[in-house]
Amino acid sequence: MGEIAPEFVEPMMARLQSHLPEESGWEFEIKLDGIRAIGIKNGKSIRLFSRRPRELTQDFSKIANALATLSPKQFVVDGEIVALDDEGRTSFQILQNRGQEEIQTHFILFDLIQLNGKSLISIPLAERRAQLQKLLAKARAPLNFSDSLDASPKRIWAEIKRLGLEGIVAKKLDSRYEPGRRSGAWIKVKAQNEQEFVIGGYTSPQGSRKFFGSILVGCYEDGKLMFASGVGSGFTHRTLEMLFKQFQKLRTENCPFANLPWRKSRGGFSMADMRRATWLEPRLVCQVKFFEWTRDGNLRQPVFLGLREDKRATEVTREMSR
């Protein structure tokens, strides 16, 4: 087989699960809270793409410049662009604020997909990561290798909870790279509930708040957008203003949620609520942290973290653990 040109590869995805595997043959990495990215080097050309794909090269030029210093002439790498909080934890919310203040970003690399004209997708994960670690041996910030955690699953999980981290990604050491698939060879276990939602509307502001009160979010189910919750916390004044400006381009007379008006045993959304809401074409995707799903399919204690531009609205479904 001849050489192949380095090009975008749709990232392999992890399946949500309720617990870590106990058997041997798995490696464990910290689950990162950032933007999944594919880095491509072809001679002097460096490009970064989100999983959608959307080009990120100009947005993260320091990372692109760092990738250019790596010795191979050609490669395709998989990783996560992150920002860190004061405790050294990755934070999507901080990453989203990079346009408002000077924030240092990092590219945490965890897989090597192509190298010098050869595809590596068919070789085991353990070998791909060994080659990636060698490639990054002399690399410095903002490039980092995602180290494996060397401890029992029980001890790893206890530490993740103690440190307040998002969760763990477990990967089979002998697994091949499966572009765009969620086969179960990679699994994620979350210590905190957090996922993407589609914004379908907003409510009027109350008291001293300006622009809007809450955003109305949901997920797709069988091709229909289903309401999940209003989200009223997690916004700065600047975020409220920025979102409100974007919302005005998407206003519509039609409610995008298939299950409204919605009235169940607790909470709900009545006809009166609907008359006070402003509806939006369901194009924007946001990240929301929350305590739990209720029995009625609502979110408890939701907090807005930021917009996501790396996922299409129609791809957003409720994440269910197995």
Q: What is the 3-state secondary structure (H, E, C) of 254-280?
A: CCCCCCCCECCCCCCECHHHHHHCEEE
Please name which of 318, 292, 322, 294 lies closest in space to residue 16, comparing C-alpha atoms. Answer: 322
Show which residues are catalytic: 31
Q: Does residue 322 lie within any of the structural domains?
A: no
Q: Which of 166, 190, 214 is the last residue of a domain?
A: 190
Task: Report CA-CA distances (Å) from 108 to 10, 34, 198.
Answer: 17, 10, 27
> Both 183 and 89 in a single domain?
yes
Q: What is the pLDDT along the chain (322 residues), one digit of tens a residue?
A: 568 889 999 999 999 999 999 999 999 999 999 999 999 999 999 999 999 899 999 999 999 999 999 999 999 999 999 999 988 999 998 998 776 667 899 999 999 999 999 999 999 999 999 999 999 998 988 999 999 999 999 999 999 999 989 999 999 999 999 999 999 999 999 998 999 999 999 999 988 899 999 999 999 999 999 999 999 999 999 999 999 999 999 999 999 999 988 765 445 677 888 888 999 999 999 999 998 888 878 899 999 999 998 889 999 999 887 7
Q: Does residue 235 lie within any of the structural domains?
A: yes
> Is the Cα dihedral 100, 106, 110, 114 positive or negative?
positive
Bridge partners, 198 (sequence order): 218, 285
Q: Does residue 85 lie within any of the structural domains?
A: yes
Q: Which of 190, 221, 256 is the last residue of a domain?
A: 190
> Both 70 and 108 in a single domain?
yes
Rounded Cα–Cα distance for residues 240 and 231 (Å): 12
| Structural domain count of the chain | 2
- Kind of pairing between the strands at 251-252 and 285-290: unpaired
Residues 149-158: contacts with CB under 8 Å, at least 24 apart: 149/27, 149/28, 149/29, 149/30, 153/20, 153/21, 153/22, 153/28, 156/20, 156/28, 157/20, 157/189, 157/191
> Both 184 and 199 in a single domain?
no
> Both 177 and 238 in a single domain?
no
Residue 205 belongs to what domain range? 193-315
pTM: 0.86
> Both 171 and 250 in a single domain?
no
